[in-house]
Structure 1
Amino acid sequence: MLNQAVSRRYAQALFELAQEKGLLDQVSRELELVLQMIEADGYLRAFINDAVISPAQKREVLGRVLEGKVSPLVLHFLYVVVQKRRETYLPGIYRAFQDLANEALGVVEVEVRSAVPLAEETARNLEAKLVARLGKRVKFRTQVAPELIGGLVVRVGDTLMDGSVRTRLRRMRERLISSQSKVIEG
């Protein structure tokens, strides 16, 4: 609970600054880039999350690694996070910021899982249908999940639409078992 409160507080501060400067989209993309860089580089992740390393050393490294890749706003925000020793909250801060930015921009995040990478045309058709249904812009997060066999699983907030072959086969199996048990009972 404390983690969420801290993350929301920092995200709210960054959100207000970014909105005031008209940089919501840019800051959102830059925060995502920073987190991707930290996740992809085990050394950088360990360095950032190491409590023994001083904030000054972390600032220096962040400055070298991120200079020219992110705006001064994001860089200085990260300096504050490091100075206050809140580095471990960065993933939560990012998620909370994304929620605030998406709401302000009228965007809904949609998680799409498919057995194979989505074809461009399929993605466009799905996006058009979701925009018409939700009345908001759609931002996809795609994931390839071969265990689905085929079809799609789409999650919009708490709503799950499962059109995967795996689920269809499971349901068919359940109906067959159910009908067999009725025959045996009867």
Structure 2
Amino acid sequence: MSNLAVANRYAYALFQLAQEKNDLKKVNEELQAVKSVVESTPEFVSLISHPKVTNQQKQQFIQENLGEVLSEMTLNTILLLVERKRIDSLVPMINKFKELAYEAQDVAEAQVYSPKPLSEKEQEHIAKIFAKKAKKSRLEVTNIVESELIGGIKIRIGDRIYDGTVRAQLDQIKRQLVAGTR
């Protein structure tokens, strides 16, 4: 079975359990914290995936380092992945869980590209306006600063892009001038 299929199964099982206990948001936040640890600490990944380290040692390490900050449900899922030698499915499982949780909560993720960092108020304003366009109740905004943008913002929600940058407007004017419609 492919790594992605395994990750999807674990994510769906954890999603159903978290939904039953009304802990979707909490479990998602915990999993995002685990993902951040995994992505920022290569030593952690090499230890929990090393073939000479026993499953018991891996589980003990995880319990000692993550046991106090994770709920029992989240911790047990990670320990189960270790036990079944599926720890390589951890990050894909976390990504799938986030997708399922956001869909259930009617939330979408938005990346907002801007030439300078946006204030919290600006991010909230963008989230409010574009949540309606995305037909979601709420948007989780991530601001990505791209200094090569001249001005304006570009917003990506799922596979849709709203481009209000100066560069896009100049390109549109150029196309109209070349086509002779302006």
More helix by share: 1
Q: Distance in 2 between matches of 1:167 and 1:106?
A: 30
Q: Distance in 2 between matches of 1:165 and 1:2?
A: 44
Q: In the alignment, residue 110 of structure 2 is paired with which amino acid? A: V
Higher mean C-alpha displacement, 145-154 vs 92-101 = 145-154
- 1:16 corresponds to 2:23: no
> What stretches of structure 1 of length at least 5 have no aligned partner?
none
- 1:150 corresponds to 2:179: no
Counterparts of residues 24-63 of structure 1 (less than 5 Å): 24-63=24-63
- 2:107 is matched with which residue? 107
Q: Distance in 2 between matches of 1:156 and 1:32?
A: 19
Q: Normalising to structure 2: TM-score of the pair? A: 0.87
RMSD: 2.1
Q: Describe the SS at the equivalent of 1:140.
A: strand
Q: Describe the SS at the equivalent of 2:116.
A: coil
> What stretches of structure 2 of length at least 5 have no aligned partner?
none
8 Å CA contact 1:3–1:89 kept in 2: the answer is: yes
Higher mean C-alpha displacement, 57-66 vs 114-123 = 114-123
Structure 1 residue 124 displacement after superposition: 1.7
Q: Distance in 2 between matches of 1:54 and 1:174?
A: 62
8 Å CA contact 1:113–1:145 kept in 2: the answer is: yes
- 2:169 is matched with which residue? 168
- 1:66 is matched with which residue? 66
8 Å CA contact 2:128–2:138 kept in 1: the answer is: no
Show CA shifts across 1:11-66 (max 9, x none).
Answer: 01110111111111000000000110111122112223334432222111111111
Larger Rg: 1
Moved over 6 A (4+): none
Q: Distance in 2 between matches of 1:12 and 1:38?
A: 21
8 Å CA contact 1:58–1:82 kept in 2: the answer is: yes
Paired residues in the alignment total 179
